[in-house]
Structure 1
């Protein structure tokens, strides 16, 4: 897919105010990495969207990544349809449910942080929003980032900050501001279904770029889109980092399915990774059950995130790991 084709897609989405799509592929790639790049609303504004989407396609093409299909969706529609919630299921669950959603390892990290900080109150981000009159999502985000964001585990972050003058540990305190970023009229979301012979962990380290666009390499996705935004007077930040690339083969499968194959009425088994799981004897229902990234429980009682446990794994290792979960004993969901 060319940069010019994706420019035309953006133009149609702006004209119609609805999702535009280049249409289904005949078959998913048989091997390699099959994943999604999401270009976020902060660089898909009315004056930046065409250049941002085209720039992403150019960077990917130069990194041995083919764009198989593209879609452009109004940002508000993306959020209203639940795509944002489903794109970051663990981020949202922790922000809404608080510490009950943490895995065993993340709970240990939280206890260590609280012991060091001397705090006892832990709130999910949305509960925190109710504890101080006039607190805005941006205020909470800024407080948490100023205090420091500590990674507890996959999709699980904590900040020791203050509410009404009292210290409190807030989980995923940036999430309300992130969600608010999908509410501005005229902004779009770009979705690129991608394939590469390169492993996803390599693409994330060499092509995605550092979390803060200002610190990302110029040839990376975040570096290129961050420079584009700055040239138009928009400064991005660590929280507004322009672009997401699937964190692993399992997450990539669900994103390719949800944004593209499902819209055509096809199941998760129509994706490359899903097809290989089926060939290894994993029922499609067992595969689909992992989409929401609910905790799995080992025989020992330890809980873990299936999406997090497959981040950084090479494709064959990820396939073996998911097959073991589906066929092993002593695993459940919580």
Structure 2
């Protein structure tokens, strides 16, 4: 179990060494029951000189909500982005921002068509193409999209009806370039927490994580605690700069804890709680590994789904059942 003092020391050390600081392999692996998730404390609240206070506050807030921090690592934010961790953390967000409509699931495409018809807009551009066509900086594009409103189409897929190059346009994931840029702040770090709780994932996402805007989140929640500290330090936060991430489900939590922790120890996916649950269900973990980048899968009726989105907030047994179906019936959509 990692204490606030331990994570405070790690957060203080990482900027000096410019290397990953890690509390080390836990004495025992995550329990097989409950929820095994990752929490990421984002660079907007992990910039010097406040990173140590912020990471310690995150551990304290989690502990008050019945979440145990098993392991912690602090990584320079620029390294996190440069190594591709940010892309792998948000695989569909990035694909949609680059590839546009081609990266949407069938349900997200239907939502996009309905939005276009309602707005009377024909043009659709992914974020990076919109930046190039409109001569926009990442922050300018994000501001334009947030002012216009961000509509969720599906997992990792968002749309804003705005103007690009003098034409009304639907921009897909227009906030992503600015989010990516935020991880390249020279003096900022990323806090990675391997966590376990007996509380269901849906409860962790709702009651423990708190509202998307940290300044509006409940005081006892994780975002609420970090938002209160951010106010004290004069740190600007918003729905986009929302301070912290908590795995959306058992599948995403497995991949994040494996990527950030157990893989570095030389362990496979069975080094995670959900990975062991899949093994007990007879699921081939080599096939499961193909789901790490959130490829489309089918639901058996020709519709495509995001595996990370489709398992969001589900209980463990239902998530195991879905992953087993996708990997044993070859329902990857390509």
TM-score bracket relative to the smaller structure: over 0.9
The yes-or-no answer on 1:206 pairing with 2:207 is yes
The yes-or-no answer on 1:317 pairing with 2:312 is no
User: Whole-Å Cα distance in 2 between the matches of residues 85 and 268 of structure 1?
Assistant: 19
What secondary structure, in the 3-state scheme, does the structure 1 residue paired with 2:139 have?
helix
Residue 69 of structure 2: aligned partner: 67
What secondary structure, in the 3-state scheme, does the structure 1 residue paired with 2:133 have?
coil
Does the 8 A contact of 1:226 with 1:235 survive in 2? no
Residue 172 of structure 1: aligned partner: 173
List per-residue Cα deviations over 1:235-287 (Å, max 9, x = no partner): 21110000000000100000000000111121112111011101211111111
Does the 8 A contact of 1:37 with 1:192 survive in 2? yes
The yes-or-no answer on 1:252 pairing with 2:249 is no
User: Whole-Å Cα distance in 2 between the matches of residues 126 and 24 of structure 1?
Assistant: 39
Does the 8 A contact of 2:205 with 2:313 survive in 1? no
User: Whole-Å Cα distance in 2 between the matches of residues 14 and 54 of structure 1?
Assistant: 16
Residue 236 of structure 1: aligned partner: 237
Residue 108 of structure 2: aligned partner: 106
List per-residue Cα deviations over 1:148-199 (Å, max 9, x = no partner): 1000001110000001221000000000000000111110000000000001
Residue 15 of structure 1: aligned partner: 16
- In the TM superposition, residue 321 of structure 1 has moved relative to its aligned partner by 1.5
The yes-or-no answer on 1:39 pairing with 2:34 is no
Alignment of 1:147-296 (within 5 A): 147-296=148-297
Does the 8 A contact of 2:326 with 2:332 survive in 1? no
The yes-or-no answer on 1:92 pairing with 2:115 is no
List per-residue Cα deviations over 1:125-153 (Å, max 9, x = no partner): 011111022x1000000000000100000
User: Whole-Å Cα distance in 1 between the matches of residues 213 and 156 of structure 2?
Assistant: 17
What secondary structure, in the 3-state scheme, does the structure 1 residue paired with 2:49 have?
coil
The answer for unaligned runs of 5 or more in structure 1 is none
User: Whole-Å Cα distance in 2 between the matches of residues 27 and 40 of structure 1?
Assistant: 25
Mean alpha-carbon deviation: is it higher for 279-288 or for 24-33? 24-33
User: Whole-Å Cα distance in 2 between the matches of residues 62 and 143 of structure 1?
Assistant: 38
List per-residue Cα deviations over 1:72-126 (Å, max 9, x = no partner): 0000000001000000001001001100010010000000000001111111101
Mean alpha-carbon deviation: is it higher for 226-235 or for 35-44? 226-235
User: Whole-Å Cα distance in 1 between the matches of residues 16 and 31 of structure 2?
Assistant: 32
Mean alpha-carbon deviation: is it higher for 300-309 or for 108-117? 300-309
TM-score in terms of structure 1 length:
0.98
TM-score in terms of structure 2 length:
0.98
User: Whole-Å Cα distance in 1 between the matches of residues 51 and 185 of structure 2?
Assistant: 14
User: Whole-Å Cα distance in 1 between the matches of residues 196 and 25 of structure 2?
Assistant: 14
List per-residue Cα deviations over 1:24-72 (Å, max 9, x = no partner): 1242322110010000000001021001000000000001100000000
What secondary structure, in the 3-state scheme, does the structure 2 residue paired with 1:239 have?
coil
What secondary structure, in the 3-state scheme, does the structure 2 residue paired with 1:70 have?
strand
How many equivalent residue pairs?
332
Residue 52 of structure 1: aligned partner: 54
What secondary structure, in the 3-state scheme, does the structure 2 residue paired with 1:139 have?
helix
- In the TM superposition, residue 14 of structure 1 has moved relative to its aligned partner by 1.9
User: Whole-Å Cα distance in 1 between the matches of residues 33 and 16 of structure 2?
Assistant: 37
User: Whole-Å Cα distance in 1 between the matches of residues 108 and 18 of structure 2?
Assistant: 41
Does the 8 A contact of 2:295 with 2:332 survive in 1? no
User: Whole-Å Cα distance in 1 between the matches of residues 111 and 263 of structure 2?
Assistant: 37
Does the 8 A contact of 1:53 with 1:190 survive in 2? yes
